Amino acid sequence: MSGHRATTAVYHCPFCAEEDLWPVEEPRGAWECRACARVFTVELVTVDTTAIPGRLAEEDARRGGQA
């Protein structure tokens, strides 16, 4: 339980969109979809903060700051 990789909670199967997902022991962090029998992992690559609209507005306000 002390793995340094954060596991991602998955709510829908990326292949068939069903919600019948169960964690499997191997490979670690993988999920089994009992609707389509696929076993898969979801990996977070990065968080692109430039793509968050709220963040953009926030930085805009900080930069502009003309009141």
Q: How far is the CB of 12 from Zn ion (least distance, A)?
A: 8
Q: Decide if residue 30 touches Zn ion (CB under 5 A).
A: no
Token pair 């002390």 in the structure block, residue: 2
- Residue closer to Zn ion by CB (options 7, 35) is 35
Considering only the C-alpha atoms of the chain, give the largest distance between any 2 of them, rounded to a whole number of Å: 58
The 3-state DSSP composition of the chain as helix, strand, coil percent (nearest 5) reads 20, 10, 65
- With CB under 5 A as the contact rule, the residue among 10, 24, 30, 35 that binds Zn ion is 35
**Residues found near Zn ion in the complex (CB under 5 A):** 13, 15-16, 18, 33, 35-36
